[in-house]
Structures are given as C-alpha cells and as structure tokens.
Structure 1
Amino acid sequence: MEKNYFGITDTGRVRDNNEDTFIAEKTSGDQYIIACVIDGVGGYSGGEIAADIARKSILQHLNEPSGDLISLMRRAIVDADGRIMLEKQTVKAHENMACVITLALIDLNRNQFYYAHVGDTRLYLLRDNSLVKISKDQSFVGFMEDSGRITEDQAMRHPKRNEINKALGFGVNLTAQDDYIETGQSPFLPGDMLLLCSDGLSDMLNKQDITNILVKETLLEKKGDELIAAANKNGGLDNITVVLVTNNNPALKQEALKPATVTHSKVSPVSTFEKVSAPKSNETPIIENHTIPVPVKSGKGTGLMILGTLCFLLVCACIYLIWLNNKNVNQEKQEKLSPFKNPRNAQEKRLQDTLNNLKGNTLILTDSLFQSPITISEPLQLNRDTLFIIAKNNLVFKSDTLFKGKAIEIQTACKYIFLENLTFEDFNTVISSQNNALLFKNVSFINSPNAIESIYHFPLKKHISGKIPNSSFKTDSLPTTSND
C-alpha cells in the first residue's frame, strides 16, 4: 500500500548548510499524522539549532495527542519558543537565532486536519486539482501579496521577501497574544492532499508550477523529488523543504436506507368458546344438520330511514358550504395582509446563475461583475461538492428590507465550501449548513446575531453515538484579501 505521507529537505544551490528541518510521521498509536516544516531564519547564527529545538518540542507534545488538538499544538509551539529563548540567553553565539514553523495534525479517521503557523513557511490544500494556500505569510511582502497590492510573481522577486514579522525566538510573549500563532482546522476529504513547504520552494515556484507537479499520477516521493528539482532548476536560492500528506481513504458514499420490512402473518380465527377438533384419520366426521332461522325484514319504516338519510346528507352539505366560504374569505384576508415578495434583483439573479453554471470549483467575485452591496431577497443555494467563493475586494451581502431568511443555504451534497473576503449584514441567520463543510477567511458579520445554523440528519430508529466536533475560528484585527 502506498505510503500517504512523505518529507524531504535539500540545501539548495546557494547556501552552504541546511537550516530547515521537517516532521512527517505518525503519532503513537497511529491515530494521527504529524506534518511539520521548520525553517531556521536565514542569516541568523544558530538557525538550524532553533529549528531542531522546535522539532523536538513538537514531537514531545504531540506523541500522544488528546483533548483539544488546537490548544495542544499552540502549547507545543509556545514551549518551543521558550526553549529557543533559553538557548539564546545561555549561548552567546546563538543570541540571534530564530525559526518559523508550519505544523499540521491530520486525523484520517475523521477526515480532518488541524494546523498552527508562525512565519512564512506555508500550508497548501490540493482538492480536485485546485491548490489553495491556507496559511498566511506573516511578512511585509506576504501582506502586500495577500492584500492584492502586488502579484504572486512580484512577491517572488521582491527584495524584502525574506523579511518576516513573526517567528519563534523573537522575544514576544506568545501566551499574551492570541493572534501571534495562526491556527485553524478544515475537512480533509478522500483524495485531498496537504503540502507544507519552506519559502525555498514558494520563492522559486509559483502556485501553478506547484500544482502541475502535485496533480501528476505519481507517488508522493516522486512528487517531492520533482518539487525540489524544479526549485533548484529555478535557482535554489534557499534551503528547500517539502512535506506531503494525502488522504487515501475510500471516497465517501451515501448509503441508502432500506425501509423496514413488516411481515403480516395470516391467522385463522378461532372461536373462544368453541373447540374445534380435526377428525382422526380412521374416523368418519359426523355432520349434523342445523336449521338456521332466517329473519324476515319488514318493510315498515323503510321510508322514514330514507328520509332521515337525505336530511343528514343535506345538513352535511350545508356545513361544508359554510366552511368552504369561510376558508376563501380567510385566504383573501391573508393575501391582503401578506407582504409582497420582491423578485430577485439583477445582481442576485446573476450571482445564483453564475453559481449554477460555474465551470470548475472557484468563483472570483470582482468589482466589474458585482457591485457591493448585493441585496439578498432569497437564499443563495450552494449544491456543489467543492466550491471556493473569493472576493477580490471585500464584498457585502445585505438582507432585503422585507426578507427574513438566510443569505446562503448549503445542501448535503457540499463537502467543502471556502468563503473569503465577504461581509454579511442585517441577516437574522446568515448560513444554513447541513454538514461541516465551511471554511472562512476574512469573513465578517454585521447586525447578524446568528452566523451559522448547523443541521444534522440521522437515520430513523437508530442508536446514535458520537460528538459534534468543535468549530475553530479565529478573529483578525486587520481584514485582508488574497489572490490565492
């Protein structure tokens, strides 16, 4: 059976030593896969030592993970930062060392992954041949790229691309800053692939180049080797590290529930006061003749019975006519009192039509196609396996004045819905979801008290065991847009 995780690191063509390290292994008990890329900050003395300290801390904390996995990963990174700071204070030659890290914990039994991230190493998710960057580059150039101020190619050539804002060993109190460590979780469906890499790869290969290699029908080892070779071919200016994890579980299938079969047995009626015995084989059954008196029905009173029946039917007909008349009157009153339902406006209709006829699984909402705000008078229906809805600039969905419904209804067929740079305003409930398909990035809610309504369907007459998973969302003080 093909191994579903793989890691590789390479010095590159310019540097003399490799300050990168990685983790690609299963936890004790084989329940989870640890995937991690750690990059000792280039140019600082002891970068490889900082990376090794962080690696040991991660393995120690995640060897037997349990409980809140996101909190556990945060503690592992905070502990790594503390150990690096202690080393810096103890060894004078290492006083400037630091490292950046991207860590993922994959639970294939539940088809989920959890991640924690500091710096400019990266986490990508490949699904249906589409590559999405999950983590944010915590650097000036990364902010410029994510906010749309520069393109991906410009970011790759920017002279300040290696200057980072966050790292382990910078002397920051990580426990006092909740947003210093970026964390999250997402569905990891059969056929999905995770890529964790250092900037030695992402600075040499753009997203399309990476995708072209990942979608090939080759083993993970071959994909890793090709990524390293391609980065070196384009210059190999830094250490290059790649970790790949794929979900090789069988595709999810919805089993049809068969109706219960009820068998009706025919039982011959037996009198409770008469015992019937079958004649023995050597006996002749005795047949007795009984004279049964037949009652003679008198014709007296037949006319009265018919007349009474006719009167009864006449009364019933009158009652029905009165009820029908009252019903029509009430319907007319209700129609007069009911608010007028506005038809969908042009933008709203165009958006739903675009979703219905979308080729591929990514919809980019640009200012040239959709002007903010888009007024919603009827829920947008999402009924695709995988869908990425990304606004180039923050796009507002606003509830129509008379509309009291939801902005988006996610159907059971959806397995992964990614929303980015959207704002929902004046909805009582914004999204109705029938599974755990949602992933947010820079999504905000204004005057909308109920963000998500989750609906779970269970088969009837079955005993259900399990736990509704905790959702993990984080808040950002600064909204950004992304080209990814």
Structure 2
Amino acid sequence: MAKQLHGLTDTGRARSNNEDAFVAAGGRYPFGAVIDGVGGYEGGEVAAALARDTLGARVAAAARPDTVVLREALLAANAAIIAEKQRDPRLQEMACVLSCAWADEDAARVLYAHVGDTRLYLFRDGSLVKLTRDHSFVGLLEDSNRISETEAMEHPKRNEIDRALGFLPTIPDPERYIDTGSAPFLPGDLLLLCSDGLTDMVDSNAIRTVLQSGDTLEGMARTLVAAANGNGGKDNITVVLLRHSKARVQPRPDGAPRPAPRPVPIEAAPSRPLPAPPPLPRRSTLALVLPWIVGLLAAAALFYFIRPKEAPGPVGTGVNAAYPQAALQDTLDAAADTLRLTGAVFGDTLLLRDSLWIHRDSLVLIGTGRTVLQPASGRLPLQVAPTIKRLHLKGLELRDIDLRIAADGAGALYFDSVRLRGVAAGLGAPLLLPDTLVTGTLKDLMTQKRKNP
C-alpha cells in the first residue's frame, strides 16, 4: 500500500511537541486525513488524537465512501472532544481542524470533508488544484483573489481560524459548518492532504515541483517536510499522499506517424528484357507551366472564400482563434465584468480537460445560444468562489458538470435560458439535473426541486 498511500508528520523546528495527527488507511477505498490540534501543549494533541481515532473507526465500519458518513464522523469527533473538555478542566481550550479524503476508484470519485485551515489538493497533469477553502479571514482574502499567496503566507492573522471541531458543544447547521464535496479521481491523479505547517512555509509552485518529480510517495513526503523545515519549520508539518492505483494512459497525439509496415518479400521473377518505352512528344514550356498556374490560382480563390471571417473578441479581453483550456481559464480571470463566448473565437463546443475556477466578485458569461461547456471525458467541476456576489450565465448549455458553490452563495448564481444536462449542483447532497432549461437563481431551483423531487 506504500505505493498508493503514505503519511508523515514532523514536529518542525520551532515546536517542542507535535499537535498534528493523520490517518492513512488502505484497502479497496483508501482513506486519508490530516488533523491539526489547537490549544497548546495541554490540549492540541488530545483533540487531534480523539478526532483521528473517531474518524478511523467510523470509516472502517462503513460499507463504501459516503459524504454523509464523513459528516457524521466529524460530528462524532466534535462530541468526543467536547466530552473530554467537560471531563478535564485543563483541556478547555482544545480543538482541532482537519481535512479528509475517501477515494472510490470504482466510481472515479474522491469524497472529502473539511473544517478549518488544513488543506486538500488534487494534482493532475502538472496542475495543482486546491479542493478545500480555508475557514479563516486570510483564507477568504486569498480565495477571493484579494491578496496573493505570498501575502497570505506572510499575513500576521494567517493562523486565526473561524471554524474547528471543539469550538461549539453542538454544531447547529452541520451542512454549512462542515464542508463536504466530491471531485473526479482519475488514473494518474494524486491527492495531497496537509496541515498549515506545510502551506505556511512552502508555496504552491514548490509543492507542484515536488509532486511532479516522479519520486515515490515516501520520497515526496520527506521532501515536502524538509522544504518546510528548510524555510523555518515554524509549526508541526503533516502530509498524507494518496495516489490512484492506475497510471494515466497517454493518448496517441493527433497526426503521430504510424509505424511503417514490415516489407513483404517478393519472389524474384525470371528476368527478361523490357521493351524500350516509346519516345514522349515534346511539349512547349507554356504547356508544362500552365497547369501549375491554374492550380495555384484555384487554391488562392478557394482559401479566400472559405477562410474564417474575423469577429470581435470577448468583451474586456483579447483572444486568439485557437482556444485551449488554459487560455479559457486565463480569460475568465482577466475578463471585464462581461465575457461573450463568441462562436468565431471559442467555437460552439468548449471541451474542458480540467476544472474551471471562477473567483470573481461578479461575472456575466454570455453564450450564443448554441454554446456548450462539457468535459472532454468523464465529469469535471465548475468551482465558484463562495464570496461571489453575482454570476450570471446566459444562452449556453452545461453538460456533465459539477457546479460547486457554497449553499449561502446559491442566490448569487443566476441563469438566463441555460440548459443543464447531467449537472449536479450544490455541496453535501448534490441536486441532480439530468436535463433542465433554467431561468432564475440556483437557490430558487434547489428549493423547487427539493420540494418536488
């Protein structure tokens, strides 16, 4: 199992005790968790150990991965921490934050649950995507693109968290307090769970470099911990790496030459003298050149009439006619408040090879009425920042997309003649929309569908 799952924790350079803990449980449905204790020497280690043991027991008893099981496991851990605090007055300040991931390769999904500022990342094809959001003021600033990653790492309030297990005796709204969700888990994918002892010391580019090194999971874990310690090691450092059991099959590139067929030997026939060919009639120079001139003129005329006509680019940004996935994400990041997906520039169908991330305050995304956004294969998430004020989708179709937005932001997502085919919307208990033409807010749609399932 070491090839698929590995965990490592380290005290760091500045602390005398380790308040972190982790779970790395193999099997048919591998499970990993990173837990960061809060409350100093007297309590952090106790809270982290209680959460670790509770999570491990609940997951081991489950039949298969389920976000409901994960949420209930975190609620049980919260109850265990509160009970211990009531039993021992010295532990009144203890709590913990955690992130956990549960892989289901049969369903090609990973389910996760999260509270606090530990993190879960998905590494795929050289791209590192953060699946969780930090429950902290600085995390909110970073996730909404108000400050950079470097500024967040240096912010004086980066360790002040809004949520943790053990803060409240009873969590009043578990579906909002505990973030749960899922993401595609495909051959070649690698998951990284880590405490802030890593991400406060090592930026995402350095983490990405380690994950694409091709080293073993144990080697990568040791390199990440060493990098955090090399940058100061100001906190405990914990990482869990979970790799898909199958490697990605690289598709044959378009236009790649086929291997030459093996020559078939031909038996030599008895040689006989061949008759001399008849002499060719002499042709004038004009007769030889004229067919070439006619062919060139015809090709020029054909190119003139069938070439694509130039069309204005999307509002607020310039683009090229050839539009790869990375350019689409860059355009979403750099566009003005309105982005028009014109057919001449983007084409009628945009095949997505990775998830899209929308972290603008507001954006109006307008299609042509024939514009389709769909994954090149399988399913992909369209991740919307929880801080978005308004996302208006108009005249387009989403296929096999997981709309990921916090429940309190559902009213900010507005549809205008948008067709949803095979779309799952919301977090926790996704709302499945097999084929629906929508005009209105996602919040109204969720309310209507759940009243009339």
Question: Could you state the TM-score of these two structures normalised by the residue count of structure 1?
Answer: 0.67
CA contact (8 A) 1:366 1:393 kept: no
Q: CA deviation at 1:242?
A: 0.2
Matched residues in 2 for 1:128 and 1:361: separation? 16
Select which of 235, 242, 251 maps to 1:238. Answer: 235
SS at match of 2:45: helix
Distance 1:156 1:389, change over 3 A: closer
SS at match of 1:61: helix
Residue type of the alignment partner of 1:178:
E
Matched residues in 2 for 1:362 and 1:18: separation? 43
SS at match of 1:383: strand
Matched residues in 2 for 1:198 and 1:476: separation? 33
CA contact (8 A) 2:65 2:103 kept: no
Distance 1:222 1:106, change over 3 A: same
CA contact (8 A) 1:385 1:415 kept: no
1:431 has 2:402 as partner: no
Q: CA deviation at 1:366?
A: 5.7
SS at match of 2:122: strand
Number of the residue aligned with 1:227: 224
Number of the residue aligned with 1:317: none
Deviates more, 1:17-26 or 1:173-182: 173-182
Select which of 420, 430, 435 maps to 1:472. Answer: 430
Q: CA deviation at 1:344?
A: 6.9
SS at match of 2:330: strand
Matched residues in 2 for 1:66 and 1:239: separation? 33
SS at match of 1:87: helix
Number of the residue aligned with 2:330: 364
Matched residues in 2 for 1:204 and 1:180: separation? 27
Distance 1:449 1:175, change over 3 A: farther
Q: How many equivalent pairs are there?
A: 362
Matched residues in 2 for 1:476 and 1:243: separation? 35
Select which of 420, 443, 452 maps to 1:452. Answer: 420
Number of the residue aligned with 1:49: 46
Deviation by residue 1:94-125 (Cα, 9 ceiling, x = unmatched):
11110001011111222210000000000011
CA contact (8 A) 2:315 2:338 kept: no
Matched residues in 2 for 1:473 and 1:202: separation? 33
Query: Which structure has the larger Rg?
Result: 1
Q: CA deviation at 1:220?
A: 0.3
As a proportion of its length, which structure holds more helix? 2
Matched residues in 2 for 1:7 and 1:395: separation? 40
Mapping for residues 190-205 of structure 1, pairs under 5 Å: 190-205=187-202
Number of the residue aligned with 1:346: 313
Q: CA deviation at 1:87?
A: 0.6
Select which of 168, 182, 187 maps to 1:185. Answer: 182
Matched residues in 2 for 1:95 and 1:42: separation? 8
Residue type of the alignment partner of 1:5:
L
Residue type of the alignment partner of 2:12:
G
Q: CA deviation at 1:70?
A: 0.5
Residue type of the alignment partner of 1:472:
P
Q: CA deviation at 1:158?
A: 1.2
Number of the residue aligned with 2:438: none
Q: Percent identity?
A: 36
Deviation by residue 1:284-308 (Cα, 9 ceiling, x = unmatched):
xxxxxxxxxxxxxxxxxxxxxxxxx
Matched residues in 2 for 1:224 and 1:382: separation? 37
Q: CA deviation at 1:420?
A: 3.7
Number of the residue aligned with 1:14: 14
Select which of 120, 128, 137 maps to 1:131. Answer: 128
Number of the residue aligned with 2:158: 161
Matched residues in 1 for 2:378 and 2:317: separation? 21
Residue type of the alignment partner of 2:356:
F
CA contact (8 A) 1:37 1:197 kept: yes
Matched residues in 1 for 2:250 and 2:328: separation? 24
Coordinate RMSD, CA, aligned: 3.3
Deviation by residue 1:381-408 (Cα, 9 ceiling, x = unmatched):
2224335354544321146xxx6x3553
Q: CA deviation at 1:62?
A: 0.6
Residue type of the alignment partner of 1:148:
N
1:409 has 2:377 as partner: no
Deviates more, 1:212-221 or 1:376-385: 376-385
SS at match of 2:229: helix
CA contact (8 A) 1:381 1:411 kept: no
CA contact (8 A) 2:31 2:100 kept: yes
Residue type of the alignment partner of 2:430:
S
Q: CA deviation at 1:154?
A: 1.1
Distance 1:476 1:125, change over 3 A: farther
SS at match of 1:45: helix
1:373 has 2:375 as partner: no
Residue type of the alignment partner of 1:409:
L
Deviates more, 1:67-76 or 1:89-98: 67-76
1:76 has 2:73 as partner: yes
As a proportion of its length, which structure holds more strand? 2
SS at match of 1:8: strand
Distance 1:174 1:452, change over 3 A: farther
Q: CA deviation at 1:454?
A: 2.0
Matched residues in 2 for 1:44 and 1:101: separation? 18
